[in-house]
Structure formats: C-alpha cells, structure tokens
Chains A and B, each alone.
Chain A
C-alpha cells in the first residue's frame, strides 16, 4: 500500500510534520496561557500566529556559537540526531489510505527503534557539552529512556497480537470493528505514559528540569542547534500523538469526514492533552520515576501482554 508518489509523500510529510511542530509551539503557548490566566503570544500576526515565524527568523540570525570546551563534532551531531530519528519515524506513519512514505511490514518495530535511537541525541549532547549540569541531564535521560523504552515496546504488543501485524496500516485496518483502546485500555494508558517520557515533557522532563539542572542536556546550546532540540521535542509530541491515534483510536477511520481530517482531529486531541498535562503536573524525582517504571509499569505491561495473549488464544 506504499504511496505511488514516494517523493511527493516524503516531501509532504516532512513539510507537514515540521509545520505542525512549529505551529504547535504557538498552540502550546496559547493553550498554556489560556489555562494560566494570561494572554500568551498575541502580537505578531493574527492571534499571534506569526510568532513562530518571528522566532524562527531570530533563531536563524543568531550566532552559531560553539563553546570552546565542548567536544565539537559530537556537540554538532547531537541535535541533528533527534531531528532525524523523529522524522524517520514519520516515514511509517499512515496518515490516510495511500498517504504513507513507506509501509514497512515491521513499521511498529521501526518506530520503536527510531525512538530508542533518539535518546542518543540527548545523551551525546549532555556528554559532549562538557558541563556538569548537561552531564547530569544526559545521565538522567539515559536512565529514564532505558526504563521507559522497555515497557513502551511491551505495552504495544497487545495491539500487535490483536491486529496480527507489525504494519501500521494493517493495525488501523484491524480497528474497523472496534478501536483497540477498548480491549487494550491498559496498553493505551501505559503507552501514553511511556510516550510522555519519550518526548521528555513534564512530568518526565527530568533531563532538562529547569529548576534543578538549569536547562539540563541543552544548557550549552544556542541558536538553531537549540532550535532543533526545541522543534524536535514538538515533532516528538506530534509523532506520539499521531501514534496513539493510529494504534488505539483507529487512525484515519471515522464516519463522514475524509480520513486525513479524522487523523488530524484525533492527533490534535492528544496534542492538547499533552499540553494540559504540562500545565497541571509537577515533576517526580529521578529515583521515583525509575522505580515506578520498573516496579509498576513494567509488570503491568507484562501482565497486559500475557492476558491479551491468553484471551486471544482461547478466543480463536
């Protein structure tokens, strides 16, 4: 079911993903402001919509400063990694029937692999910065990702069992009768939490915890290199939100409206949810996070996998 016009699809998805991510910056700032009794950016363009553009121009015009004490090649490479891995994940994302860059039969595994690779970006950034705060941020990121990657993968296996495929379009197709969120509610919750951790947002923003580590792993970054981490985070949010839509909420499936619209509606819903979580929750401590990950989430994910497997075996 791979798209007949691969180049067009690639371009389309890259452009759309990046502009959604950029737009998200505005959305998040406005939504946060709304919930926090303030205005948010409302000066540049209608409703402040051009704020992101202004910021982009500013950030491109800034001096591309590399501090003298850093490990230069790695320092420059690190922000690119987060960008590339997230964009690669979009390749397997089915937006609508026929709108997909590459329908891999191991699409889901490819997504998991890419998101695991993404952590290198943070760890290398923290390491190469040669700054203690960045290093602590990088360490936290490594530990956090290790603990949360594990059950992230396992929490999705229930979906795979139900759909009988690792291919994302097939998984969406498998939800024609019922969204997987109903039989796999626990899996959904676990994936949502792991997804939050994956994007390193509150309550899982430990690697950059402002009140503790200043800016954590990207303390030494400025200009567009910082911008890439920044946009990378929002692309991550978009990716995880659309993955939730695809894996648990039937992707493009829905009555009346075209598939793309349904997909966008569902994705946007989860994006808003991510923003709301950021507005509401405090940040747990590093060791608490780890122990929840290993002692609560992982056993739950395993139990979910076993029960789903057993039920499917008995059913069929």
Chain B
C-alpha cells in the first residue's frame, strides 16, 4: 500500500492527477489511465522516473463486458493491462487503459519497448484491439484466415459450439495460400544489388526448431539477412480454457504450458490462486513443492543440455542426459504417480504426502548426477568445436535483454544477477541456501554455462529439502483448499456439504485480481488472474518466458549463418507450448 502511495505521488507530480488507483489483492500498484495518456505515462515510467520500470513484463487485455464486480473501477468494455517491472525497485506496476467497444484502439508502445510488438499483436489477435502505429499488426497465434477474436466473451470455447469443421477444396486452397510467406508483407525486399535473396522456410516441421516453430529466413547465400519467427502452431487456447475450467480443474492445463517444466507450472498458477484465496501453505507442502519444482528444473535443463549439444551436431550427449532425466522421472513417478505432467500440486498444498523411501531415491540421485555433469563438461563444454560454434554467437547486452523482456538464465547469462527465487521469494525459497550463477557475455556459450551451474544449485536445494523436510500437514486446512482435507468430512454434515460442493462445482474464489509469478525453468512464468467471484476464472493470463525470448531471434541472428541460428534457437531454451500456450 505504501508503494502504491509513493508511486502514485511520483506520477501525479509529473503528470497531474490523471490516474485512478485500484486496489488489488496482490498489492501491486495499479492505476487506470486515459487511453490518450498511456504512451506518455509509460514513457515516463520507463525513461524519466527515478529508478525506472525498464522491463515491459506483460501486456494483455480483459474483456470486461460480462464482469459483475467492478467496484470503483472506471467504465470499460475492454481493458488493456500493462505490467511493468522495475529491477531497481524490485517492484511491478500495473497500468490499465479503459476502452469502449466502439473505439477499440490505443497508440502502440513498440517505440518504447521492441518486445511490445508481439504482445500487441496478440492482443489484436485475441481481442480485436488495434494499436495505432504498430509496424505489423497481424494475427499472431490464430491463422490469418480466422474469423473472430477468441478471447472475447462471445467467442465460443468449444468446437461443438462452432458447427462441424469442413474443408472443401476451395477452402483448403485458401488456407494454404494464407500460409504462404510473402516477403513484401514484412517489408523485406527480394533482392539487393541485383542479386536475389533466398527465402527459406525453416519449419514448422524442422529438426532444428524443437517443435512447430516457423522461421522465415531472408538469406544471402547462407548468411541471414533477416529472420522472421512465426508462432501459433502450438496454440491450444490455454487462456480461454481458464475461463471454462474451475480453479481446481485448470491445474492439469498448466502442466502442458511449459511441458518440460511439469509441476513448476502448477506452482506458478497456484502462487496466484493462493494469493487470491488468501491461503497460507503449510511448511511441509512448501518444501515438497520446492523439491519437486527444482527436480523439474534439473529435468528441463537436462533435456535442454542434450538437445543443445545435438543442435551443435553432437550426437551422444542427448542419450546421456535423457538417461539421467529418466532417473529423475522415476523419482517423480514414485512420488506423484506420473512422469512428465504430474499435475500434482493442489490449491493449498499438494495431492498427497510423500511416499515411504522418497528420501533414499532423492539422495541417490543427488549423489548420482554431479559426476555425470563433470563428464558432460568434458565432452561438451570443453570441446573446441563446441566452443568455436557457441562463443560470441547470438549475444545480447543486459540493456537489450531487459528491453526485450528476457528473464531467467538468458538474462543471467548477460551478467545480471536477477533471480525471482531470491528477489521475490515464494514458496519459502528465502530459507534455502543457493547461489545465482551468472556469466558475462550473454552469448550461446554463456547461456549454457549458466544453465549447467543452475543444475548444481538445484541439487543443493534438493539436498536441503531432503535433510530438512518439515513434519506436518501436506495441505492447508483453509476452506478454499481443494480438494479439502477429508478427515472431518465423515463426521459432520457441514464439512461434508462443503467437501461435496468443492469437489463437484469447485471452490468459489473471492473477487479480485492477482499476479503470481515464479522463476520457472526458462524464465519468469506468471499467471495474472481476474476473479469475478465464481467457480471459474474471469480472465486467465499466462505470461511465459519463451514468448519474449523467441521474439529476440531477429536481433540475435542477423548477419550470422543458418548453423548459428540453430545454435541460438537451442541456447534460448524455449518450448513451443510455452510460446503459444
């Protein structure tokens, strides 16, 4: 609250009193601003204010037309929400701009933050809100031929509401034509000094893209003149599903966002939900969560390690690291019963207590992995061809990284020691001892160095979890914890009814807005939830690290060659579902 007052004062001193503050459950200073002053305010926050908000953390929108509880908020049909992050203050600020249904447009902020480009395109795609002056306001997640804007409330969420899908020949041709890459649309010229460029379509099916990512390359020989990543092939409407699924049944959807991160995704979502519900998670559940999340960080990094080496052309490491990953999965399996997507965290805790013998398995793994990592250092990181391929390739500076919304290991590789586990501890991370590995040059090699050291640090955290696992309940006894603790349901009718409702309809979360963000495997993963006091979320916004990271591709790859592009893709460590959601 104090933060809100200070920042409000700082802004009003400069811009007069054009701001309407809003109280939110996560205590992030939130202000409404008139749409014609958005640009001015954001520029002030980014460039002029003392200890500026340098990172555009997220940009999204809310369709407010069906919302019941908007106490004290300015009238709005569609609200565009900007989340900014100040690294110096270690604070977010949330700026909202109200739009009426017949004037759905805002000035673009791509001139302030290059990363706003994709975010604004997504808002256009999902809500039909136009951004004046945007360099390329086209659909980004949905196909060009799509009709309607999916995250609007009137847009159906289910295929059964849309009539059967048909693909007559003429529509097939039109769809195929819509996929054609036309350089002119992107402002690319077809020739330079009389010689033609090659336009190479890399993906969406290509062994080097790690999934259905398409990159249109403008090539001069093998040199990349420009690269245009095109995403959306993995879009599954995770945000729209959030508006259909109950708070509880949405958990499995989160697992599949960063599909290598498993329960790490649950943690991001639940951090937000528990803030909304006001649940304090008991210490044992917290430590269990940290333990599994860190194990998944190792798992994700192992996949990255092997596939990255493969991108550089090394054949064997992927088999070794997948082998190690398999061992980690056997622990996950023993504890949760599932492997890649356990969906094992619950609102208020975890699904069950740890099984007998979990600590032995964990200890074995903690002993097993470090010597393997040393071996991989010898075969991969110290190989001279590997160094020649990765050092000095695809680097950005700290300022560029912040400008582009880069977080996680990719940011730390530029030399900035910024880890949300340390800066904004959640789930009890403040009581663990670990270091934040950083590197200096922000190139492909340094990104690798950071991730490998992170695995060692995660092992340290695992060790602390094993030796200091607290006793106590594995789930909170808060009434909104889902499913509720069952021991009392068999004794009195009131708890039985609550239990029944909570399991059949799902819990009803208090009205409010929260942002819950964590240091996920690939960077900052945040869930911005709007509750309208119902069993489902009114708006679920998923801020993923990969989305921001892949957008930097043209910046990183211009002037390099195709093999470098593949190395850069590998070093960024993205997951397609984490980009497209």
A: residues with CB less than 8 A from B are: 32, 35-38, 132-133, 136, 139-140, 202-203, 205, 209-214, 278-288
Contacts and interface: CB of A to CB of B under 8 A. Distances in A.
Nearest to B221: A139
Given A212-B208, A286-B222, A280 B561 contact: no
Given A132-B198, A282-B386, A202 B313 contact: yes
B310 interface: yes
Contacts of B222: 136, 139-140, 286
Nearest to B565: A212
A99 B311 CA distance: 44
Contact of A211 (B201, B388, B561, B566): B566
Interface residues of B, number: 30
A289 B51 CA distance: 48
A278 B562 CA distance: 22
B319 interface: yes
A282 B312 contact: yes
24 contacts: A35-B316, A36-B315, A36-B319, A36-B320, A38-B319, A136-B200, A136-B222, A140-B222, A202-B313, A203-B385, A205-B313, A209-B563, A211-B310, A211-B311, A213-B562, A214-B206, A214-B207, A278-B315, A279-B315, A282-B309, A283-B312, A283-B313, A284-B389, A286-B563
B379 interface: yes
Contacts of B311: 211
Contact of B313 (A136, A203, A279): A203
B457 interface: no
A258 to B, nearest CB: 36
A32 B561 CA distance: 30
B323 interface: yes
Contact of B379 (A212, A280, A284): A280
A202 B198 CA distance: 27
A202 B313 CA distance: 8
B383 interface: yes
Best-surrounded residue of A37, A202, A210 (most CB of chain B within 10 A): A210
A285 B200 contact: no
B314 interface: yes
Contact of A279 (B200, B312, B316, B563): B316
Contacts of A136: 200, 222, 562
Q: In the A-B complex, list the 8 residue pairs whose CB atoms are closest, starting with the nearest.
A: A283-B313, A282-B314, A36-B319, A282-B312, A282-B313, A211-B208, A285-B563, A282-B385
Given A214-B207, A281-B385, A37 B323 contact: yes
B210 to A, nearest CB: 10
B63 interface: no
A127 B316 CA distance: 31
A282 B376 CA distance: 13
A139 B206 CA distance: 20
A281 B561 CA distance: 20
Nearest to B390: A282
